[in-house]
Amino acid sequence: MSNLPRFNIVHSLKTSSYFLVAALCLLVAGDAHGKAASFADEIALSGSHSTDEIAADEKPEFNARKVIVDHVLDAYDWHLFDIGKREFSIPLPVILLYEGRMYVFLSSRFDHGYSAYKGFRVSKEGHNKGRAIRVLDDGITPDPEASFIYDFSITKNVLAVFISSVLLCLVFVKIGRRYKDADIYSTPKGLPAFFEPLILFVRDQIALLAIDRKHYKKFMPYLLTVFFFILLNNLLGLVPFFPGGANVTGSISVTFVLAMFTFFTTHWFANKTYWQHIFNMPGVPMFLKFPIPILPVIEIVGAFIKPFVLMIRLFANITAGHMVILSLTALIFVLGGVSIILGYLISPLTVLFLIFLNFLKILVAFLQAYIFTLFSAFFFGMAVPDEHH
């Protein structure tokens, strides 16, 4: 009975995969090149600035760890490229609420993090690294008595989230409109032909797999949104230039929000049986529940651990992927620092390996979107168990 539509899916997936591979081959080539170039500039830059920051004792050294972390972290401006020693980036609005006052200015005031503005400065180290901190009048020393800064800046990741949100809305609202007018017997063409198999995949292989047939419908909008949101941002994260390159799904804040959405959706729709299983697990001896509620505590902790694991998994996978790519790129410069010949020798090998890794990351992009959605679906499925069970 369902053989017919399934044939279509396989067919369109095949066709679209050729396109995808071709497009990503181009990107991979650009990626390796772009990252290498920006590293080279960074070495030069860190050299030029080190004279006024660090005691100028010796030749500036390439600090792989610092560079990698800087690339993975969020930033106040969107770095595009460097020409010589000049950095070109898109300045983004910085919005800070500090002691009841609101400070709004463009991130170009920070001068790529080298100067302070209105008593704020981008922190260079510590757990606030890359974030605005309050500094003393000298513009360098952090203010030890500073209170909490409510930072609502439109950072690189925020802008990337906005861009991908708009992109998602544009694409899928357009598809939705096509479906509204379409004759339901017609085979999908164009955008729907590309996305329908994915939508069906989320429905049949994720939602219906994990959630009871009676309940799955109310979770579908969230599962689809979260799947395509993660997928799009994973893929955009692989694109080395604007509007890609932001480490959105590798940011703990973003995965935290996604996990919270899963958490609240789970408990918003959770039925009586779910709550009963948490507070009064049936079929378990009483001494596990009263007077010391061992089992309820375990269950409650479990309810929080589930989204926490979701958050960590997505963040770690994407960030680790970025880090591996960055580390391999950094290898060229580390070895180049030792001996220029060694650097040249290692670079073709590294680029080859980077190409392989980028392909791997395309797989990971799909895989992580799938896993996050699947696990969310499993949690929803657990929240709406069969009543008579």
Partner 1 sequence: MELLMPGLGLVFWMTVAFGFVLLILKKYAWAPILNVLHERENKLAQSFSDAKRIEQEISQLAVLRTEKLAEAEEKHKEIVSKAQIDAERIIEEAREKARQEARLINEKADEMVEAYKQKAMREVRSQLSALSLDIAEKVLLEEFSDKQRNARYVNKLLDEVVMN
Measured between its terminal Cα atoms, the distance across the chain in Å is: 31
Q: What's the closest the beta carbon of residue 314 comes to partner 1, in angstroms? A: 13
β strands within the chain, DSSP E: 77-83, 86-91, 93-98, 101-106, 120-122, 132-134, 150-151
CA distance 120 to 76: 12
Under rule CB under 8 A, residue 257 binds partner 1: yes
Under rule CB under 8 A, residue 238 binds partner 1: no
Under rule CB under 8 A, residue 360 binds partner 1: no
CA distance 153 to 231: 25
Pairing of β 150-151 and β 93-98: antiparallel
Q: Dig out the tokens for 224 from the structure.
A: 């689809």
Under rule CB under 8 A, residue 200 binds partner 1: yes
Per-residue binding letters, 61-80, with partner 1 (x by CB under 8 A): --------x--xxx------
CB 45 within 8 A of CB 83: no
Q: Which of 208, 190, 206 is nearest to 198 (CA)?
A: 206
Q: Which of 122, 152, 121 is nearest to 138 (CA)?
A: 121
Q: Out of 222, 227, 333, 372, name the contact with partner 1 by CB under 8 A.
A: 222
List, in sequence order, every residue forming a beta bridge with 182; answer none if it has no partner. none
Under rule CB under 8 A, residue 104 binds partner 1: no
Per-residue binding letters, 284-323, with partner 1 (x by CB under 8 A): -----------------------------------x----
Under rule CB under 8 A, residue 173 binds partner 1: yes
CB 369 within 8 A of CB 234: yes
CA distance 99 to 309: 35
Q: Which is nearer to partner 1, 76 or 347 (CB)?
A: 76
Q: Which is nearer to partner 1, 221 or 302 (CB)?
A: 221
Under rule CB under 8 A, residue 154 binds partner 1: yes
Q: Which is nearer to partner 1, 253 or 280 (CB)?
A: 253
CA distance 113 to 123: 8
Under rule CB under 8 A, residue 168 binds partner 1: yes
Q: Which is nearer to partner 1, 89 or 153 (CB)?
A: 153
Under rule CB under 8 A, residue 201 binds partner 1: no
Q: Dig out the tokens for 259 from the structure.
A: 């996990």
Instruction: Count residues binding partner 1 (CB under 8 A).
Output: 60
Q: Out of 130, 243, 296, 337, name the contact with partner 1 by CB under 8 A.
A: 130
Q: Out of 79, 121, 131, 277, name the contact with partner 1 by CB under 8 A.
A: 131
CB 114 within 8 A of CB 128: no
Under rule CB under 8 A, residue 118 binds partner 1: no
CA distance 214 to 234: 32
Positions touching partner 1 (CB under 8 A) are 1-2, 4-5, 69, 72-74, 95, 126-131, 150-155, 157-158, 161-162, 165, 168-169, 172-173, 175-177, 179-180, 182, 184-185, 192, 196, 199-200, 203, 217, 220-222, 224-225, 229, 251-254, 256-258, 260-261, 319
